[in-house]
């Protein structure tokens, strides 16, 4: 199973009464279908996964499955603290037609989540999952740092096909690509390093900022694959600032406001995530305005 290109880490829209706005979610996907996105991650960190009930998650999974255009790859975020529950969710995602599952490490009992404990967890999940498993490295949220050596051991499992690497550390992504060999696929989770990671062996990206700027992210991927590194580098510079502000600094609320700015439905996050202040909104507006200005300048120049 090939995971190449840009995957949007979808947000979860909420209705004014706080329930999940499945209609808005569907509308966003229909628009993304027209882009060059390779697929969608449904129920990642950007989706406020830990603030949703499993009932809500199942409806979101079903909606995305129906709304996604043929050929779009669907990856379900299915990892929770319990090994058994992670296995159960992975089975349900597979039953709904998802192509792979993305499994974040259990992390609440941090001092007990030794490399050995995490390895046992991932092997149990991968043994049981009807669809391929992606590891998920996001130490800024989990406090769990995955090393290249550890990843390489798990990469030998036939049902563990790759990793979403969101630490932002270019060297680590490169080291993982190097240690794990050709079959193992590294999807970078940070748009700030997309071009660089692609040149160092990543096969694509799973990006929150692709919810606001899907075409720009896809262009970086395509320019890099086409060998047009000059253009890829220019585009990388363009996405850097919005990516830092929107996804890196402001999280799901930032991504959602960025979506509102460019015509998707974003809306508010669930509490305890705070709604944005006016100053934060202004930073996002400026960052997006700059992208648009630079795009125009590059168009004029070419």
Give the residue numbers marked as catalytic. 164
216, 265 Cβ separation under 8 angstroms: no
Q: Is residue 279 within the footprint of a second copy (CB under 8 A)?
A: no
State the angle between helix axes of 229-242 and 278-301 in degrees (0 to 180), rounded to the nearest 10. Answer: 160
Distance (Å, rounded) from C-alpha 30 to C-alpha 245?
A: 26
Report strand pairing: 160-165 vs 133-137: parallel
Instruction: Give the list of residues 6+ apart from residue 145 with CB closer than 8 angstroms, or none.
Output: 137, 139, 167
- Min dist CB 62 to a second copy, Å, is 21
Q: Which stretch binds a second copy (CB under 8 A): 31-39, 149-157, 168-176, 181-189?
A: 168-176
CA atoms within 13 A on the CB side of 86: 25
Kindly state the tokens that stand for 66.
């129906």
Q: Which of 102, 240, 246, 255 touches a second copy by CB under 8 A?
A: 240
- Min dist CB 68 to a second copy, Å, is 26
Q: Which of 2, 31, 110, 297 touches a second copy by CB under 8 A?
A: 110
Q: Which of 16, 17, 70, 109 touches a second copy by CB under 8 A?
A: 109
DSSP 8-state class, residue 14: B
Distance (Å, rounded) from C-alpha 259 to C-alpha 265?
A: 6
Q: Is residue 302 within the footprint of a second copy (CB under 8 A)?
A: no
Q: Is residue 56 within the footprint of a second copy (CB under 8 A)?
A: no
Q: Is residue 182 within the footprint of a second copy (CB under 8 A)?
A: no
Beta bridge partners of residue 144, listed in sequence order: none
Q: Is residue 274 within the footprint of a second copy (CB under 8 A)?
A: yes
Residue with tokens 């809500």: 56
Q: Is residue 281 within the footprint of a second copy (CB under 8 A)?
A: no
Q: Which of 192, 212, 217, 246 touches a second copy by CB under 8 A?
A: 192
Q: Is residue 55 within the footprint of a second copy (CB under 8 A)?
A: no
Q: Which of 24, 72, 89, 121 touches a second copy by CB under 8 A?
A: 121
Q: Is residue 137 within the footprint of a second copy (CB under 8 A)?
A: no
Q: Is residue 128 within the footprint of a second copy (CB under 8 A)?
A: no
Considering only residues 199 to 238 of the shown chain, the ones binding a second copy according to CB under 8 A are 199-200, 227, 229-230, 232-233, 236-237
Kindly state the tokens that stand for 163.
């990793």
Residue with tokens 């700027």: 213
Q: Which stretch binds a second copy (CB under 8 A): 2-10, 24-32, 45-53, 208-216?
A: 45-53
59, 26 Cβ separation under 8 angstroms: no
Distance of CA 86 to the CA centre of its chain: 18
Q: How far is CA 49 from CA 41, 65, 201, 203, 274, in A?
A: 11, 17, 29, 25, 16
Q: Is residue 82 within the footprint of a second copy (CB under 8 A)?
A: yes
Binding site residues, a second copy, CB under 8 A: 18, 45, 50-53, 81-85, 106, 108-114, 116-118, 120-121, 124, 140-141, 143, 168-171, 174-175, 178, 190, 192-193, 195-196, 199-200, 227, 229-230, 232-233, 236-237, 240-241, 244, 248, 250-253, 270-274
């Amino acid at each position: 199973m090939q995971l190449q290109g840009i995957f949007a880490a979808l947000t979860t829209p909420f209705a004014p009464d706080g329930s999940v706005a499945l209609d808005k979610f569907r509308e966003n996907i229909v628009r993304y279908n027209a882009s060059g996105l390779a697929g969608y991650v449904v129920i990642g960190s950007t989706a406020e996964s830990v603030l949703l009930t499993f009932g809500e998650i199942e409806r979101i999974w079903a909606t995305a499955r129906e709304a996604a255009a043929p050929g779009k790859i669907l990856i379900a975020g299915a990892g929770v603290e319990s090994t058994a529950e992670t296995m159960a969710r992975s089975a349900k995602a597979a039953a709904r037609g998802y192509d792979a599952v993305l499994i974040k490490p259990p992390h609440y009992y941090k001092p007990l989540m030794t490399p050995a404990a995490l390895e046992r967890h991932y092997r149990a999940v991968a043994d049981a999952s009807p669809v391929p498993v992606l590891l998920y490295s996001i130490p800024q949220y989990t406090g769990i740092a995955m090393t290249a050596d550890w990843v390489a051991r798990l990469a030998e499992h036939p049902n563990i096909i790759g990793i979403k690497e969101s630490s932002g550390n270019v060297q680590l992504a490169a080291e993982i690509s190097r240690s794990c060999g050709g079959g193992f696929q590294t999807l970078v989770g940070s748009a700030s390093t997309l071009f660089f990671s692609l040149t160092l062996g990543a096969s694509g990206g799973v990006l929150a900022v692709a919810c606001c700027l899907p075409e720009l992210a896809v262009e970086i991927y395509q320019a890099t694959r086409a060998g047009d590194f000059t253009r890829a580098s220019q585009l990388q510079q363009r996405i850097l600032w919005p990516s830092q502000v929107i996804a890196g600094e402001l999280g799901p609320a930032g991504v959602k406001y960025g979506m509102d700015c460019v015509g998707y439905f974003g809306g508010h996050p669930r509490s305890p995530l705070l709604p944005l202040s006016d100053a934060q909104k202004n930073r996002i507006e400026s960052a997006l305005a700059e992208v648009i200005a630079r795009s125009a300048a590059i168009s004029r120049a070419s």
